Amino acid sequence: MFSFFRSRRRRALLAEPFPPGWLDILNRNVGHYPRLAPAEQDRLRDLTRILVAEKEWEGAKGLVVTDEMKVTIAAQAALLLLGLPEHDYFSRVASVIVYPAGFEVPDLDEFGMEDDTFPPLALDGQSVRRGPVIVSWEHALAEGRDPACGQNIVVHEFAHQLDDLDGLSNGTPPLDDPALSDRWHDVMQAAFDDHRAALGRGEETFFTEHAGENETEFFADAAETFYCCPADLRAECPDVYALLAGYFRVDPVKWFPEAVGDGE
């Protein structure tokens, strides 16, 4: 019954004209948007409208959350859903908390308890399982406007939400394709192990040092790279790129033709 009314509300929302001011925001703040094909732009606008409408948007540190902030953040999160045939609009994320800039959270011990002996963690974003997604507006805006910078805190944190859908934070989102599922563990585990080994040798690595913490962070980091530096990811780790393209069902290399070498 609830899903019926929710679907009806969504249809009614999408039947309304897209707010002209929001289109200006997409073109100004979401660098991916002008790169998408027209059909992808249509879908991104629809996804953005529903995410804006269905999440509670909260400002932290006195920040007043504006439509610009909502649309900019929601559209970047929507990139992850752009090609997925079935999804729930991140329904487990009831709220999005927006800080003006980076923020600090308590460091926790192995039992998940606060320990005053640990210095606080400085973060740009955080994903809480079955809880909110928290992002820095400063980073969401800068990285949204420049997708080729290689980082996207919104994509990173919402990728964690996809990972958590099966109740496990293990770097593997729910996979309904048996062939994709069979390849996922081998490809991602091998790439993660190679990355960890390179970090251990003190070598310069393609993925971030943070990606070496565990499989969960590796998946979120790989998702950032997939959407922001797809040509580099395909050149450096073609198996990982192919795997993520199979899961997200988009091919971001097409969005960044200037980054593809002459031999591609």
Same domain assignment for residues 28 and 149: yes
What confidence category does residue 257 fall into, taking pLDDT thresholds of 50, 70 and 90? Answer: confident
Residue 136: inside a domain, yes or no? yes
How far is 133 from 80, CA to CA, in rounded Å? 15
Per-residue pLDDT at 213: 93
* Residue 9 included in any domain: no
Backbone angles phi, psi at 168, to 5 degrees: -125, 130
DSSP 188-237: HHHHHHHHHHHHHTT---SS-SGGGS-HHHHHHHHHHHHHHSHHHHHHH-
The pLDDT of residue 78 is above 60: yes
Same domain, 156 and 184: no
118, 148, 167 — which closes off a domain? 167
- 117 shares its domain with 27: yes
| Single residue among 122, 137, 167 that ends a domain in this structure | 167
Would you say residue 5 lies in a domain? no
Q: Is residue 90 part of a domain?
A: yes
* Residue-averaged pLDDT of the chain: 90
- Domain end among 167, 192, 212: 167
pLDDT tens digits, one per residue of 40-50 = 999 999 999 99
Q: How far apart are CA 112 and CA 70, in angstroms?
A: 31
Predicted TM-score (pTM) of this structure? 0.91
Residue 246 structural domain:
170-264
CATH of the domain at 65: 1.10.472.150
Summarize the confidence of residues 237-243 as an average pLDDT.
97
Mean pLDDT for the stretch of residues 57-80: 97
pLDDT digits (tens, 9 = 90+) for 12-22: 998 899 998 99
Q: Is residue 129 within 8 Å of 162, Cβ to Cβ?
A: no
Q: Do 145 and 31 reside in the same domain of the chain? A: yes
**One domain, residues 71 and 132:** yes
Q: Does 101 lie in the same domain as 222?
A: no
202 burial class (0-12, 13-18, 19+ CB within 10 angstroms)?
exposed
Q: Which residues make beta-bridge pairs with 58?
A: 97
In this structure, are 124 and 72 located in the same domain?
yes
Task: With H, G, I as helix, E, B as strand and everything else as coil, classify residue 99.
Answer: strand
Residue 83 and residue 162 share a domain: yes
More confident residue, 108 or 29: 29
Q: Give me the number of domains the chain comprises.
A: 2
| Spatial distance between the Cα atoms of 37 and 33, rounded to a whole number of angstroms | 9
pLDDT in tens, 175-202: 988 888 889 989 999 999 999 999 999 9
Residues 101-144: tens digit of each pLDDT: 987 777 654 444 455 666 777 778 899 888 899 999 999 999 99
Tokens standing for 35?
Answer: 């790169």
72 lies in the same domain as 51:
yes
177 in a structural domain: yes
Residue 25 within any structural domain of the chain: yes
Whether 25 and 132 map to the same domain: the answer is yes
Provide the token pair at 157.
């944190």
153 lies in the same domain as 183: no
Residues with Cβ within 8 Å of 126's Cβ and at least 6 positions away in sequence, in order, are 105, 133, 134, 157
Residue 136 near residue 99, CB atoms below 8 Å: yes
Q: Is residue 11 situated within a structural domain?
A: no
